[in-house]
Structure 1
Amino acid sequence: MPLKRTMTRLVPPTALAAALATATLATTTTPAHADAGSGVIRGTVLETGYVIAPGIDVSLYTSAGAFVAATVTDSQAGAYQFSGLEAGSYLLWFENQNEAVSEWYDNQPDQLSATPVALADGATRVADAYLTQVSENLVRPTVSGTAAVGSTLTATQGTWFPTTSVEFRYQWRRGGAVIDGATQPTYTLRDADSGSRIAVEVIAVHQGATESALSAETATVTGGQPPVSAIGNTTPPAVSGSTTVGSTLTATPGVWTPSDATVTLQWLRGATVVGSGTSYTTTAADVGATLRVQASATKTGWTAATASSAAFGPITDSTPPTVTKPVNTALPSITGTARVGDTLVAGRGAWTGDPTAFGYQWTRAGVPIPGATGDRLQLTALDAGTAIGVAVTATNAAGTTSSASPASVVAKAASSIAVVAKSPKRHKLKLKVSVTSAGARSGAVVVKVKVGGKTVTRTYALAGGTRTLTLRGLRSGRAKVTVRYTGDASTTDARLVKKRVPVR
């Protein structure tokens, strides 16, 4: 039996059976008992959304209302089965206790109106059910009126159960497609409907859930002006071939609906038409520009359409350009402070010939400095007093050219001196001298101590920028200590004066 849809809230089967017992029945079939025969009644139960409904209670009664057996639908297919039945007439009750939804077979609200299932000896009957919380359509909607442009069609909602607290909505359809804005029980036919069939969909809404039913279509709508269809392009035209000038390019027209539309092609450079047909040979006028193909599709009774290919190109000259070696038009330069410890930065200068790469070589007094091939150079003690320059090499496909910057003479690094003094024993003074500089710090320090009316002067060589020294035989008193760093080839001199130190 085909799948049906209904919903109803019922009193329990036992109460209905009691009511039947007091009623006058035309049939007095003797109750059948399970396992007494070889007949089978089985089926599948679905619920709202047409999904499998496991755990649904299914009860079997004789047509006279006597209870026979009960079962529960399984979890995999929502199926149930009663076996071992005698031949006879049976009634089925389906109930989803969780959602308070139930029905008698087939879509009946009570046992008196339930559809009996007649079972022959040894036969198998299938009885499916659909339990939904939403109002269910029992008789399809209908459409009345004349199928002609200008006429008004009227919808009847059909038969639904239940209808309490149910809202009914309407949606008219043309050839199965939704007609925008056509949501009333009536619809006046228009030119756009000419040549089509019209139907109405009725939607039942209950607590946010919906069920719908579609009427049969009307006859083909007559009169009016049928709408003109537009030709459609599903695949645009395309261009293939070489971008080198003088090559012959080929175009495909693309894919059109309907397929028998007539398609013509034009070749365009910008907005200028330069050719027609499926092929085009590029000329010198096309060099540097892109080309595209525009397809125009026509058919009698249809609206024409156009489509363009993607841009193709740019078209290039077949003669490669002449390349010459780079030529320097502005000398390389050096920026930064030319002083030991600082960093110099090379500027490339200006070149013709579109160089593709640049190289650098720093020089000291005109001689290349090993390993100094980047665009930066940090100056060391070796550079003090020398002329530092940089040669820049520019390279392209035609060769290499070098050009040197003006030289910069490197100044000595600045220096500073620090002295720690103390008198560890009588008539002695111990000094620790430290020179800070980016230069070599290889010069000497001159120490002058004046104490008790006597002056002592000593000169000491530095080792690694530091020196610890002791002066003996000094008089006791508050000594005035002067220390001077004499500098070296890479470091300027520095002086520390008027340091007062007590001597024991």
Structure 2
Amino acid sequence: MLRVQPPRHLLAPRLSAVLASVISLVTAAVLLAVGVQTASPASATTTYLCTGYVACAQAGYTHHGYKKAGSKMWWRMYSGHNCTNYVAYMMVKSGASSERPWTGSGNAYNWGVQLSDITDSTPRVGAVAWYKANGGWAGSSGHVAYVEQVVSATEIIVSEDNWGGDFDYRVVEKGTSGWPDGFIHVNDTPLTVDTAPTVTATPAVGQKITVDPGTYTPAADEVSIQWYAAGKKIEGATSASYKPTTEQWKKRLSVRVTAKASGFARTVTDTDKTVAVRKGTLAVKNQPVVSGTAQVDGTLTTTTGTYSPAVSDKTIHWYADGTLIKGETSKKLAVTPELVDTKITAKVTATTEAYKAEKTLTTSTANVAPGVIRLGKDYTLSGTSSVGDKLAIGEGVVEWPTDATVTYQWLRGGTASGARASTSSDGSGASNDSLSYLLGAKDVGKTMGVRITIARAGYTTRTVDLAATSIVTTTPVLDLTATPKVTTRTVKVAGTKKTKTVVKRKVIVRVGVTAYGRRTVNGRVRVTLTQPDGEQQVSTVRLVDGKLRLPVTDLPRGKQTVQVDYLGTTVVTAGSARTTVRVPAS
């Protein structure tokens, strides 16, 4: 049989079986009036470890001070060598009341009867080993002893005193007539608490905390745990670790640790109360995310995220470059012009009972882009590109934004003309409202146009360039003169001595072409001279510095018609002039 070693004061070697038998024979000869009536050696198996205060002390077994205290009556038992007085002394010494816990007979056989509610068959250190009358080696008064050690479930070591006998230690094995009829648990010896159980962490809702169950002598075979909140048991909270719930918020926790070891009374220790359970920390399972177009007139949308545990409320605030956008607390944000070039974020605040508010900031968007100006109707440019005429703008419609500003800049050859009616000597230029333009001298030969600028803060400025379909032209002015010239001379007639008079008639055609807005006019001129008989002479001549001189010869006398046609250029339009001239006979 495997046996656990006794405590230090029980470490003296056991007496030999022969010595034990001799002691048994001597003990059996003694009849105790009140105490133990011993059984015969043939029917009881026991091993005495020591007998007598001195011998036991020398062998390392303590009498617990009874050598001196035995002169006093304990629980109103007879003093001196007496089993009941000794065990009563040990009960009081262990912390039990000094008053006998029952009335009536104090004989040993009556102990288990009067204390039946705390009597069972389980041996524990500090328990009373109880024998009925004539049980085992007990006499008619029964017997009680003090359990010093529980070696196993079938072997114990007891200390005892005997009426008319002496103090001793002995080993008792189960299955023999010496095994007690029961064990009375008045005040069993608990385990020694070497290190008290503690809870050191600050408790918070949803966060695991752990109790240190402590250490014991002897080491505990089993430790059970029960958590309490505000002094009330938390059902099911029986593990070393525990996560406080919302029900424990603001309450102080404690733990009751029950340590057990074979042969010892269970030891129950309560930890100190913790501080009140604080608010827990929400775990963000899915971060809030902003989606949509970061552009004026666009819409941004944020999710609110998910949390553990699930939360009861979520609030949203929007920020532009970290500055709160006042009044924006919904999932959607309409992007307005004042947000251009800022980065947008959303802050989601999740709350639920007994948890700290969890504030989560989304990733920022790209810089907000300007909005797009939309036209509901296009602008147009109409009019003839001829000096003195007007060009007019057909107004369009700005569909969005409706408060955009529209300005007009007239262009001459692709650059700003800068002309207005009030500053132009010829009255040309833009009207006061800039919606029309009177073409003047400076515009001749240029392509005219207008730049329409539509602007609004927070939007990309939109420009519309409209150009005339042709360059600005001017009308020519023709200055036409036709001068006749007649010359005569006398010549000999060939082969004779006669003479004759030769007459030559011609017209000198002079043409000058000018045009408003042009310093000189170039180009070709067609001159048609129609004689009286209808015959025509036609010549096409290029102007030189806006002028030409053309003699038309071999003309008959009479009225001649001169038609001059200026053929025009891309800038100066075609023009004509007509005159008649009379060519004399001589």
TM-score scaled by length of structure 1:
0.31
The answer to which structure has the higher strand fraction is 1
The answer to which structure has the higher helix fraction is 2
TM-score scaled by length of structure 2:
0.27
